[in-house]
Amino acid sequence: MGLASIWKYLPFARWSVLRMGLGARTLFKDWQVGDGREAALERYVLANARQGNLDEAINAVDRFAYEKSFLINVGDEKGALLDAAIARAKPKLLLELGTYCGYSALRTMRAAPKDAKLVSIEFNADNAAIAQRILEHAGVADRVTIVNGTLGDGGKTVATLEREHGFGPGKLDFAFIDHAKEVYLPDLQLILRERWLRTGAVVVADNVKLPGAPEYHAFMKANEGTLFRTREHSTHVEYQSLLRDIVLESDYLGD
């Protein structure tokens, strides 16, 4: 049994998981663990994946998360759900809320059609810079734009998306929501107000059970069959098989 398989079943025996738990307050305020692991990830990917090789970049991030330091990426198990939702939607324009180090953006670019464009919003400038360099190394930076901001900044980021990235009514085919759990619902409601989603667009939300986005979950239940049709994927928290999580995959039915 390799190290990764052991850590999968005994995640709390890992120092990097405990260290993250100790730094949880910092993590959910500043969105870096505080021990330099995000910068270490960048060095690891650049050293262990060949330039321009997307599969190797994704594998290197997963290896780092299993063998070096736990990361709050969507991870390989939930990442496969994201891949399948993207393959089903065949999107041209995608939005991601929460880039972190660019792992889900890498997966998104592998799963999406070759002419698809992803705009990923990240409010931590250090995370955005790390993700940018990893995406460049993997050879997909020309199809991904990281916007350093947040949808909740009073209109600035919304204006940037509409002015520079082709966002407008009915233009958005896919959204992946993976940022601060308490703003999942307000940010979805903003997207609905802006009418960006085309009928048939798909919205995927990570961490609906852990750490949990109960208001978002309740909204999808309340609007089942009218505004959205949702599949609930019962799965695990990233990079381990002990704690359970839920990913929601919601088809927009139009209004």
Ligand X SMILES: C[S@@+](CC[C@H](N)C(=O)[O-])C[C@H]1O[C@@H](n2cnc3c(N)ncnc32)[C@H](O)[C@@H]1O
The burial class, CB within 10 Å (0-12 / 13-18 / 19+), for 39 is middle
Q: How many chain residues touch ligand X (CB under 6 A)?
A: 20
Residue 184 contacts residue 158 (beta carbons within 8 Å):
no
Q: Which is nearer to ligand X, 124 or 145 (CB)?
A: 124
User: In this chain, which stretch among 2-10, 108-116, 175-183, 213-221 interacts with ligand X, using CB under 6 A?
Assistant: 175-183
User: In this chain, which stretch among 66-74, 87-95, 167-175, 239-247 interacts with ligand X, using CB under 6 A?
Assistant: 66-74
* Residue 80 binding ligand X, by CB under 6 A: no
* Least CB distance to ligand X at residue 254 (A): 26
Residues in region 146-165 near ligand X by CB under 6 A: 150, 152
The pair of structure tokens assigned to 145 is: 């734009």
> Which run of H or of E encompasses 120?
strand 117-122
Q: Which is nearer to ligand X, 74 or 93 (CB)?
A: 74
Which residues are catalytically annotated? 178, 181, 206-207, 238
* Least CB distance to ligand X at residue 110 (A): 13
List % helix, strand, coil for the chain (3-state, nearest 5): 50, 20, 30
The CA distance from 228 to 231, in Å, is 10
117-122, strands of its sheet edge to edge: 144-148, 117-122, 93-97, 172-177, 197-205, 244-252, 228-236
Residues in region 208-227 near ligand X by CB under 6 A: none
Residue 137 contacts residue 128 (beta carbons within 8 Å):
no
The CA distance from 161 to 140, in Å, is 20
Residues in region 95-124 near ligand X by CB under 6 A: 97-98, 100, 103-104, 121-124
* Least CB distance to ligand X at residue 79 (A): 7
* Residue 179 binding ligand X, by CB under 6 A: yes
* Residue 178 binding ligand X, by CB under 6 A: yes
The pair of structure tokens assigned to 76 is: 């390989």
Q: How far is CA 197 from the centre of its chain?
A: 18
Q: Which is nearer to ligand X, 43 or 221 (CB)?
A: 43
Region of 201 on the Ramachandran plot (φ > 0 left; ψ -120 to 50 alpha; else beta): beta
Q: Which is nearer to ligand X, 220 or 247 (CB)?
A: 247
Residues in region 2-31 near ligand X by CB under 6 A: 31
* Least CB distance to ligand X at residue 255 (A): 25
Under the rule (CB under 6 A), what is the footprint of ligand X? 31, 72-74, 97-98, 100, 103-104, 121-124, 127, 150, 152, 178-180, 183
